[in-house]
């Protein structure tokens, strides 16, 4: 399997577009949708295929990255036996908790998420929102544009969340859903934004730790475009 060059978290990008605290709120919002109450870092989704059957696998961990996601693949395949593990999951194998944490431990799950978000934020903030006709960005030239800034920033949050759910080329505010049909792309973005807003009173830094009290195999999702 082809591995892309090592990825990096762009701290300057984070400071320019979304603050560290805003990134933490987005991380928490997506995790709440994906795995809260259903295993958190231990969550493993159903076997499913996307892209006309070209990509098959399972959603793994707190953020439910598909096992063929480029960031997850790079970290997993770098471990001894990682490539074999990915091939097994592609063919339908359901990982045990021990296998998941061996090949995709909590730190790697967080690292993959941050790298993926950095990429999505960088790309999305330069794109035009068809709903507003403006770029998906939180930047604004003056204080009097504060309300406009917040609207654009929230649209950026929505769209980045939609891309996490449906893939980088999913339709903005689309009606497409996952294998379970629980949320559309548009609904996913709005749900993530609502959770993000509810975190406004949380002034601390998000601390990520696996829930070790129980095991759960989630009915995780996968949209047509995959993640």
Q: What is the pLDDT of residue 182?
A: 76
Q: What is the pLDDT of residue 21?
A: 83
Q: What is the pLDDT of residue 183?
A: 87
DSSP three-state, residue 128 = strand
Q: What is the pLDDT of residue 193?
A: 94
How far is CA 141 from each of CA 121, 145, 148, rounded to the nearest angstrom? Answer: 20, 7, 10
DSSP three-state, residue 132 = coil
Q: What is the pLDDT of residue 209?
A: 32
Residue 79: other Cβ atoms inside 10 A: 14
DSSP three-state, residue 223 = strand
Q: Which residue has the tokens 């929230």?
A: 154
What are the per-10-residue average pLDDT scores of the chain (227 residues)? 47 59 91 91 94 92 96 96 98 97 97 91 90 72 50 86 91 76 88 89 39 29 49
Q: What is the pLDDT of residue 74?
A: 95
Q: What is the pLDDT of residue 19?
A: 76
Q: What is the pLDDT of residue 170?
A: 87
Q: What is the pLDDT of residue 80?
A: 98
């Amino acid at each position: 399997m082809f591995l892309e060059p090592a990825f990096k978290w762009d701290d300057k990008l984070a400071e320019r577009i979304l603050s560290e605290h805003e990134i933490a709120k987005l991380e928490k919002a997506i995790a709440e949708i994906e795995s809260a109450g259903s295993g958190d870092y231990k969550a493993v989704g159903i076997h499913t295929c996307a892209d006309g059957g070209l990509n098959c696998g399972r959603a793994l961990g707190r953020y439910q990255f598909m096992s063929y996601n480029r960031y997850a693949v790079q970290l997993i395949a770098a471990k001894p036996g990682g490539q074999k593990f990915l091939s097994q999951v592609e063919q339908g194998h359901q990982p045990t908790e021990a296998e998941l944490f061996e090949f995709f431990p909590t730190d790697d799950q967080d690292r993959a998420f941050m790298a993926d978000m950095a990429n999505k934020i960088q790309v999305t903030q330069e794109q035009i929102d068809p709903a507003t006709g403006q770029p998906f960005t939180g930047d604004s030239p003056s204080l009097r544009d504060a309300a406009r800034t917040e609207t654009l920033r929230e649209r950026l949050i929505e769209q980045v969340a939609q891309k996490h759910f449906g893939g980088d080329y999913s339709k903005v505010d689309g009606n497409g859903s996952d294998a379970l049909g629980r949320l559309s792309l548009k609904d996913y973005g709005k749900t993530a934004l609502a959770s993000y807003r509810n975190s406004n009173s949380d002034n601390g830094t998000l601390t990520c730790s696996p829930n070790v009290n129980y095991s759960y195999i989630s009915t995780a999702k996968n949209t047509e475009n995959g993640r």
